[in-house]
Structure 1
Amino acid sequence: MASPPRTSTTFGTSTNLPLAARAAKRSYVRDTFTAIAPRYDFLNHLLSLNVDRSWRRATVRRLAWERTPHGTYLDLCAGTLDLAATLAREPAFAGRVVGADFVVPMLARGKGKTERARPVAADALTLPFADGRFDGAMCAFGVRNLADLDAGLREAHRVLRPGARFVVLEFTTPRFAPLRAVYMFYFRRLLPAIGRAVSKHRDAYTYLPESVLEFPEPDAFARRLSVAGFGDVGYELLTGGICAIHHGAR
């Protein structure tokens, strides 16, 4: 599969993007993640030094699934179903997880991780689920890839029952200046080089730092959640501010 030109890797997250730019971002994200699907899990663990596993466990804890252990939960932009599997493996969890993603090869890589997760090919901007369908929803490293961030947040809000929680795990940049400097060197120089070498994809791991830097800061994203209709909005920073867990309630 031919890679798109490098100039196509910057799309932003604003709802003011022209329709053509939104369509271009959607196609770019789908094509890129299709190409890197075979090595995606390996690279996630390698590039995060395996810390991503603990981030996902912390995200699941924020979901408050214990209130409805037999419920149905949505893993939005589910990818290879790592987050869905993290919830499904909780000893007291007796419900099921629907993993929605529009990149089918990514979902296929998650096959066999857990019997409690059902993959569904679906676009996060137009979810094929009824209003109030889920007892909770979560998303790991996916919302910054949406062609229309605010539309995606509204869709997540729509499919949740009243009182259900939405939890988002997403990268940010450290606030402590010395750590930020080291992190940015790794994120912008080393990570893309390692990602290219392992994934054999020219742009995928250049797009990653670009998309993180374009994504709203935690306070700004919290406001976007509020505008989408969520209450009890907040966030916590993990690992020195490398990523954040955002949460809100329907």
Structure 2
Amino acid sequence: MFNNIARKYDFLNHFLSMGIDKLWRRKAVKLLQSIQPKQLLDIATGTGDFALACLKLNPDKVTGIDISTEMLAVGREKIAKKNLQDKIELFEGDSENIKFDDNSFDAITVAFGVRNFENLEKGLQEMNRVVRQGGKVVVLEFSKPKNFPVKQFYNFYFFNILPFWGKMVSKDSSAYTYLPESVGAFPDGENFLEIYKSCGFVEVEQIKLSFGIASIYIGTKPVQ
């Protein structure tokens, strides 16, 4: 599915979110400034938007992994056009079986990816393994707003407008009906924070964005 929509993915992301997704990524990146990470891992990197945003932190290297070969191909093209191959490297990789050693990264980012994990706990445990002690994991993900009228508008947009335009532009009928279904099934809010903690993270926190449409979840690997 993601291979099918790869060439339209960036346009649809920015068009369907009216560009708000860029602001969300910037806010997520700022939350890592305090630890000044030099080695970053971006999981479910897709076309590399979050990896590129992480360059604001002036890291030595950003490594991105994703299971979609076509999304990675688009990401590598973007990185090559900006001549940033020495700063960002993208690999095909599974978030639930990360091919890096323990304590390899200062920070990990994931944007709109954890809800696609086949086994959420396993994916988070792998993040905990490969991030260093004291390192941070920042997860940006859609949430389910609770308050009127945001909840009603969000549901109407997500289940009617978004699938229609997504299908029209991407020519894939499943991708943009899958999106609201996967968000609906995702354990957001306090439920996610509890899972975060059960996978070994401390100082977990949720920051709600745009009236609860999305959230940033922060977790830290404890120092033993």
TM-score interval, normalised by the smaller of the two chains: over 0.9
Where in structure 1 are there 5+ consecutive unaligned residues?
Answer: 1-31
* Structure 1 residue 63: Cα displacement: 2.1
**Structure 1 residue 197 corresponds to structure 2 residue 162:** no
- Paired with 2:117 and 2:188, the residues of 1 have a C-alpha distance of 16
Unaligned runs of 5+ in 2: none
Partner Cα distance (1:82, 1:41) in 2: 8
* Cα displacement string for residues 109-168 of structure 1 (whole angstroms, at most 9, x for unaligned residues): 112334311001110010000000000001000000011111000000000000000000
Map of 2:23 onto structure 1: 54
> Does the alignment pair 1:104 with 2:69?
yes
Aligned to 1:37: 6
Q: Could you tell me which residue of structure 2 aligns to residue 188 of structure 1?
A: 159
Match of 2:126 among 135, 155, 168: 155
How big is each residue's C-alpha offset from its partner over 1:165-200, in whole Å with a ceiling of 9 and x where there is no partner? 000000011121211001100000010000000000
User: What is the TM-score with the length of structure 2 in the denominator?
Assistant: 0.93
TM-score, structure 1 as length reference: 0.84
Alpha-carbon deviations, 1:76-110, whole Å to 9, x = none? 1110000000011x1x6142100011111111111
Secondary structure of the structure 1 residue equivalent to 2:145? coil
1:82 aligned residue: 49
State the Cα distance separating 1:217 from its structure 2 match. 2.3
State the match for 1:4 in structure 2. Answer: none
CA contact (8 A) 1:63 1:138 kept: no
| Distance verdict in 2 for CA 1:246–1:94, change over 3 Å | closer
Q: What is the root-mean-square deviation of aligned Cα atoms in Å?
A: 1.1
- Out of 130, 138, 146, the residue aligned to residue 109 of structure 2 is 138
Partner amino acid, structure 2, of 1:96: K
- Identity of counterpart residues, as a percentage? 40
Aligned length, in residue pairs = 215
Give the residue type in structure 2 aligned to 1:100: I
* Distance in 2 between residues matched to 1:94 and 1:160, nearest whole Å: 15
The corresponding residue for 1:218 is 189
Q: Which residue of 2 aligns with 1:68?
A: 36
2:111 and 2:141 in contact (8 A); partners too: yes
Contact 2:36 2:59 in 1 (8 A): no
- Structure 2 counterpart of 1:21: none
Cα distance in 2 between the residues matched to 1:120 and 1:60: 21
Corresponding letter in the other structure for 2:147 = F
8 A contact 1:63–1:137 mirrored in 2:
no
Q: Which amino acid aligns with 1:184?
A: N
